[in-house]
Every structure is written in C-alpha cells, then in structure tokens.
Amino acid sequence: MNTATHESKPATAHPLLASILPAPLSRLGTVFTLCLAVAWMAGNQAVAQDAVSAEDELPATLDVDSLYASMAPQPVYGRTAIELLRELETKHYSPVTFDNDFSTEVFDNYLDMLDGARLYLTQSDIDAINDVRGSLDDSLKNGDLQPAFEIYNLYHRRVLERLVWTVEFVESQLDSLDFTADEELIIDREDVPWAASVAELDELWRKRIKNSALSLSLTGMEMDKVEERLSKRFRNQLTQVAKTNERDVFQAYMATVARTVDPHTSYFSPRDSENFNMGLRGSLQGIGAQLTSEDEYTKVAELIKGGPAEQAGQLKAGDRIIGIAQGDDGEMQDVIGLRLDDVVDQIRGEKGTLVRLNILPAEATSEVGAREIAIIRDTVELSEQFARSEVLEVDINDDMYRIGVITLPSFYFDFEAASAGLTDYRSSARDVRALLEELKQDDVEAVVVDLRYNGGGSLNEANELVGLFIESGPTVQIRYSGQRNGFVRSYGDADPEVVYDGPLAVLVNRASASASEIFAGAIQDYQRGVVLGGQTFGKGTVQEIIPMDYGQVKLTRSKFYRISGASTQHRGVLPDITFPDRYQAIETMGESNLDGALPWDTVRPVEYRTYNPLREIIPELQARHQARAEDDPDFVYLEGTVERMIEARERETIPLNRDKLKAQRDADRRAAFDANNTRLQAKGLPVEEWRDETYDEDAENDQLAATDDEGSNEEELEEEDPLLQESGRVLVDMAELLGNPMAASHDSGNIRAALNTLELSDQ
C-alpha cells in the first residue's frame, strides 16, 4: 500500500502537497485478512506480518459458542461516523448525497467486502439483514453503527461455524474424498447466487477441501501429511478469526462507507493512520524488526539493517517475543497469544525511549531459556522504499554502453520533518537529484527512470522530479470542484536548472500509478524522453489526508491532467514502445475496472515547449525494437508467459478428478518449463532437467536456512533484467536517430578476444 502526504491543515494546504494514491484492494477477500487490518495497511512497514500463521491452543473439540463473542460499537465510533459523513459531503471532489441509493451501495459493498466469494452466508442470512439495505444512510447520519455491527456479528458467527466444520471435516472425513469422481470447482464466485442452504455450503466447502487435498497429494505428499497440513491451516485461520474485535469491524465498515464514494477515498482509524503515514516518511520510530506470528508466539522474521535492534546485537531472527515492558521499571506484560498488531503497538514508541523484551531464543525449546533484553527506540529508515541507482552495461554489436538506472519505488516525502524545519528530511526528488549527480560522475551515456510498481505518493514530489529534467515550465494541471467550481490551475517547475539533460527513458507497467503517471506523462508531452513498458494504472485523482478527532480520512479533492490537457483517469499513460507486462493477464487491474471510479475527460492544454522531435522517430524506434524483440529469447519468453497466464485466467473451473487435474498441471508446468529451457538455450546458458513435482519434507523443514551467508560457496547465476537491457538499447537508438550518437565505453568484442587469447596462452 503506497502512502501519501499527511496534511495537518488541509483547508489551506498547497494543492501539490496532496496524496495521489493508487487503488486500494477491491475487497479483502477473507475474514482473517480483514481481522488483521494493521498487517494489511503495514505491508511495507518495518513491523509487519508476512503471513497469517498464528496457532493458539485450540481445544480438541471445537465449540463455536466458546469462540464467538458479539461485538458492539463504542460511543466514539458513532461520533466519528457523523464527522466522516460531514467531511465527505463538504470536501469531496464530486457531490455526495447520502440517500437510500447510497445506503444500498454501502450495503452491497459491505457484503461484497465481507463475503464477496459467497462462501459463508446463505440466502436466508441475506434475507434476515436485508431490511437495513435502504436505511444505513439514516443510521450513519445519527451515528448509529449497530446495524453494521449486527451484520458483521452474523457474518463472524458464520465464518467461525464454517471453519469449525472445515477443521472437523479435515480431521475426520478427509479419507472419504473420491479423487476419481468427475467433479469441478468454480473459480470465480463473485456473481454466483447466495447458497440456498447450509447443505449447499457444505458441498461447496467439501469441494474446496478436496481441491486443496488433491493439490497437495499431487506433489507426492502422503495423506496423513495432507491432513496435518490442512488441519493446521484451517486451525490457524480459526485462531485469527476468533481474535476479531470491535476495532476491526469499525475500520472495515467506515472504510466501506468511504470507498462507496469513490475507490480512492477511505477512512483510517488511529492505529491504521500511523501505519499509513509511515510509508510516506519512509521511516518509523521503534526497534527495527519485522515480526510475524508463529503458533501462539510473536516471532522476529528479520532485522532491518542499521536499526536499533540490529545495532544492539541482542535480538536475532527467529527469536520469539513473549513479554514487553516499557522503560526501566515498567511491568513485564505477557504477550503470548496476543494479536500481532497489539504486540506491534507495544513495541513501537518515541525515539529515545526504552523498551524491554522478554525473549525466547530461536534455539530454546521451553521458556526456561527466556532472557530479558533492553533496546532504545530510534528512527528506523525503510530503505527499500527509497530511490536507488545502478550502472547498467548494454552490449550492442560488441560495443558496451553505460546506462544509468534509477529505481523509484514511491514518491515519498517526510512532510512532518519538513514542517518542523529539519533540513535533512527525506524527499524522493532530493534523493534522485543526488543519484543523478553520482551517475554523471560515473560517465553514463543515458538514464532510465524505472517506475514499475510505483503506485504514487506525493504530488509535489512528482512535480519536483519532472523539474530535474526540464527547464522551467508546467508539469501538471489540477481541476478543483465543489467550492472552487471546477477551477483549473497549472503547476510546474520554476527553477531553470536542469540536473540531467541527456537521453532519458521512463519504464512503467500497469502497476505504475498516480504520481508515476504525472511524471511519465509530462516527460512524454515535453518529448523530453521516451516512455517504455505497459499501459499505466489510470489513476488521475488527487487525495488529501484530513485529520479527524478519531483517525483520519483520505478523500478525493481534485483531478489532475497532463499539460496536454488529457486526463490519465481510466486510460493511464500509453507507452511510446510497448514491452511485455504480466499485468496484461489480470483483467481486473487498472482504474477502469474499479467500481465508482471517476470518468475520463479533458481540459484545455497549457503552453509548453518540446525538447526533441521524438514523435518523428518513434516509428523507427518501434521498428528497431520489434526486430530485436522477435529474436530476443527473453522477450519471446515473456510474451509466451503473458499468453499462458491469460489462458489460465480464462478457465472458469478447476477439475477435481485426479487424472484430469494432474494432466492439466503437468501440461502447464511442461509448457512453462520448455519455454524457459528454450530461452536458456538461446542465451547459451545451461538448461534445466525436468523433475516431477514432488513433496520434500526435509526441504520444507529447512526453510530457515540462510540464503545470503557470506561463507556460502554457492553462487547463483543472476540474469540481467531484459526490460532494462532493452530500455538501454532503445536509448542508444534514440540518441543516434536524434543526431547525437552515444560513445561506447569500451569494445566488448575486443575484451572477449583478449580473454580468449589469455585462456589459450594459459593452456
């Protein structure tokens, strides 16, 4: 989840200090994901959960009544709902009317978010709650969230009942499954009717269990091991669902209400707000450890390099945290069995404060080996979110060209530090400026800005980044609605300095969104550089973060447009030259597939100059690229991969007959295997040997083995990114066609000849 600039005073804030996030998840899908909303929000944070794997001591005989507890809204939730509606009604880009139609949308979206695959609720359940379908708007206006909680309570009980049934089926009836029967399982259940009875759901889940068991058994896993694996899997899910609390329900419902207005508007509770805001800062205050749940313990998955925990040297990956205390004399609190997000809350804290942890070392077999450690909290930078650079050597006809690559994961900006007057605040544009200066010192001939998977961030940072490559000029237009009556204003770069003026390419894909599209669109409009890759996401709206008494709301305040007047909404930025993109296979990817997305439109273009006659040479660039791509093993392989993914996603059912499923899986694996070997052989690399799909228990139990040990003698062959390599070749062509050919850094052919001579002399 990408984050956006936090606005302390949104009413008077500069429009370019707004958030421009990509689309959120369309639905959370399964209840245990919903129950861990913090883990969902903190997927890129320094304390996050990679997988739901907690398994508390569940009783041998499971009882739904002992696991279920009805949840009710707290008074602050009702006040927050009223405040949220007021913010949406007065500040959203589009007029918002809270009426029966809105209520119906909220009702449907809420059910879709909870049980979009129709796995838990029956038609009679829907009938029982259907009387509130048209009145949720009135309840919200009155701050009454009881209807939403009643819906969730029913859903929560049904999920517990279903998981208890599933565990009991796996542990007592798994051997009754007939893998020779000619059955199928529907893959996409979004549009299927609600189950008419519990018996119909039983049959659906029998097939789901059969599919899971069959998939595992096809790897060679014995059925007793299959039963053990599935039992643990569903018991883990049951454990997490049982930990659901009223905060989860409130966050889920308020987020649904907000997203009903448009897909990029959302509500964040105080806890989720902190996780959300960390991403833009690129830092947090804590100990610098990634945590996960394992059985009833909170386990250290990884230490962040340079963080307080790593520097202290007392905490190791694999250690389990069983107690937490604050300060020198705070009481040690037992956290065994506690939800991960609650443990995270206790570990995070202000810079300079002390936290004491009761640690069970990874090698310890009982709590007898526990020990206490103390760590001083500090600011932890999430370095994987920051811009980075490398020098790529591209071989063209035995000539080597040095191409600089800047990878930018997000448009980050530490607004809080900047507002406090600190001079060393984090900024993506500032970091890229420094990297460009370094690349120039490295004598690169061209630069690729890699924005693949960059979902956006600060609009101001996108504006600043464009300014590094152009003289002064407009970069983006913003259209306001509501109180500003559709007023359009352009923003741009007032600094005539150009940090880098050489050949430039911007590499994007379908996951490049928002601020990425502003940057790519401006570079394309100015004809300052060439845009390569896949069609971008298509998010052309601007959001602002507005603090509330309890949490914050991210709402759409305006739309942005390219300087050419075209919106990126829905359509995104179309590359000048298209590269294979795996997201082509995901038909639901992109703004145009989101319910309630604002429409595409245009405004008047602004005056701007162009830097190069790129449109004149694009046809020739495309022709040269296509000629290479047709014979390039990597491009042929990527194209084939996309085609196979599209073919697989078009399947509507999964066979539950062992022979049919095995034949389908073998065919899929063989096609991918043969395609990869063809690629390797064409590149002169060692081909792989075909191996049947087998289950290796020793390999599974060895997952914690280190893969990056300095003492390891194994060296994996790292292949270069073919899309970056081709980007470099396109830039070499572009420079030549523009009349300023690049100078090769050296002749790779001569070097190879010299090496061959040395090898012969050694012999």
Active site positions, annotated: 514, 525, 539
Q: How many residues does the chain have?
A: 763
Spatial neighbors of 358 by CB under 8 A, at least 6 apart, are 321, 322, 323, 324, 325, 332, 370, 371, 372
Task: Return the SS3 of 622.
Answer: helix
How many alpha carbons lie under 13 Å from residue 391 in its C-beta half-sphere?
14
From CA 373, how far away is CA 359, in angstroms rounded?
Answer: 7
The answer to whether the beta carbons of residues 275 and 40 sit under 8 Å apart is: no
The Cα-based distances of 150 to 69, 109, 147, 154, 241 in angstroms read 12, 16, 5, 6, 17
Q: What single letter denotes the amino acid at residue 714?
A: E
Residue with tokens 């998977």: 453
From CA 44, how far away is CA 304, in angstroms rounded?
Answer: 12
Each residue of 688-723: b (16+ CB within 10 Å) or e? eeeeeeebeeeeeeeeeeeeeeeeeeeeeeeeeebb
- Euclidean distance between the first and the last CA atom of the chain, given in angstroms as a whole number: 57
From CA 56, how far away is CA 85, in angstroms rounded?
Answer: 39
Of 448, 457, 465, residue with least CA distance to 508:
448
Would you give the distance in Å from CA 119 to the centre of its chain?
25
Spatial neighbors of 508 by CB under 8 A, at least 6 apart, are 451, 452, 516, 517, 520, 531, 532, 533, 534, 536, 573, 575
Q: State which H helix or E strand residue 290 sits in.
A: strand 289-294
The Cα-based distances of 486 to 16, 481, 559 in angstroms read 17, 4, 10
From CA 462, how far away is CA 15, in angstroms rounded?
Answer: 13
From CA 661, how far away is CA 673, in angstroms rounded?
Answer: 18
| DSSP, residue by residue, 179-244 | TTS--EEES--TTSPPBSSHHHHHHHHHHHHHHHHHHHHTTT--HHHHHHHHHHHHHHHHHHHHT-
Of 159, 69, 177, 163, residue with least CA distance to 118:
159
The answer to whether the beta carbons of residues 272 and 35 sit under 8 Å apart is: no
Q: Name beta bridge partners: 746.
A: 400
Of 237, 211, 188, 177, residue with least CA distance to 54:
237
| DSSP, residue by residue, 344-377 | HHHH---TT-EEEEEEE-TT-SSGGG-EEEEEE-
